[in-house]
Copies of this chain bind each other. A is one copy, B any other.
Amino acid sequence: MRFKDVQIEMAHGAGGKASRRLVEGLIAPLLSNATLDELGDAAVLPFGAGRLATTADSFVVRPLRFPGGSIGELAVNGTVNDLAVSGARPLALLATFILEAGLSTQTLREELEALAAAARRAGVSVIGGDTKVVEHGKADGMYISTFGFGTVDERALLAAGNVRPGDRVLVSGSVGDHGITVLLARGELDLEAQLESDTRPLTELAFALIDACGDGLRWMRDPTRGGVATALNELARACGHAVLIEEDSVPLRSEVRGACEILGLDPLHIANEGCLLAIVAPQSAGAALEVLQRTPGGERAADIGEIREAPERTVLGRNAYGGTRTIDMLVGDPLPRIC
């Protein structure tokens, strides 16, 4: 894959096809090494007797606060969750702040408090960081970058290559809440809904699965930018199989369904910040679903489909009447800057 676009567009940050072209066609080839080339949610490298998972994310969400969360909370949970779906508990975080001159101290204080509260909830400390200031008119108040690391649980042997036909596809919560919440919070659309971001740490949900499934747990991912559809397409390409989704099994709030219908969006393309996708062996699926539903944040967990041999490298959705459609990765950027 080569990146042929002559300039950067918003879609290159949306987490879908354009982002993939930018990362796989330009960034990764120039910085290439064995760990980076895995392009996982976290970069895992051997360390001492074990494996160290490390991850870095920048947060540019607009507006800074939205129902159910804010940039400070996202900055912790997003990074903790990249570790969690890699089978690691966070050991520590570092955070850097790019602040806009003119930002009110009160707003900064609120986001620092949100960040501190999210770190406490996730059981992790922020041990270092940096602060820069740019001129008024840049940086939309603030951007936060967060770096996290943790040791990978030795029982967690997660890889797309472990995924087999017959494996089940689980999702830990309702889909699309975060992206639609942020979109509505901008107030640019004549739409209102009682909806909150799902931002939360996924560590307990991920470790409930590790405890319940052992090596029956094949793969996990938190479907943020690009949504469930993009994450499952990446899985399908990496494992070489098909993913068949029973569309009526996907947990979906009526507010998200309604907003997506009005806006012409597919809920499977909408970002989530507090749910995970897991592929589990068929014999582990019942126990996995049960522990997810018993764990806070997993009450709406569902078995939404299965891995099939064919059509290779494809995600299909099947509706209640038996009709199927191909579910593609996100194309373009209908929802810029939702994280």
Residues of B within 8 A of A10 (CB): 101, 133, 135
Q: Is A102 an interface residue (CB 8 A)?
A: yes
Between A14, A100, A125, A337, the greatest number of chain B beta carbons within 10 A of the residue's beta carbon is seen for A125
Given A7-B102, A92-B35, A137-B137, A22 and B131 contact (CB-CB distance below 8 Å): yes
Between A10, A22, A55, A145, the greatest number of chain B beta carbons within 10 A of the residue's beta carbon is seen for A145
Residues of B within 8 A of A104 (CB): 6-8
State the copy count for this chain: 2
Residues of B within 8 A of A91 (CB): 45, 47
Q: Is the CB of B26 within 8 A of A56?
A: no
Given A31-B115, A31-B116, A12 and B129 contact (CB-CB distance below 8 Å): no
Residues of B within 8 A of A48 (CB): 47-49
Minimal beta-carbon separation of A330 from chain B (angstroms): 14
Interface mask (A1-43 → B, CB under 8 Å = 1, otherwise 0): 0010111111111100001001100110011010110001011
Selecting from A106-114, A169-177, A316-324, the interface stretch reads A106-114
Given A8-B103, A14-B133, A139-B143, list of 8 further CB < 8 A pairs?
A7-B104, A8-B99, A8-B102, A13-B133, A26-B105, A30-B113, A43-B128, A132-B143
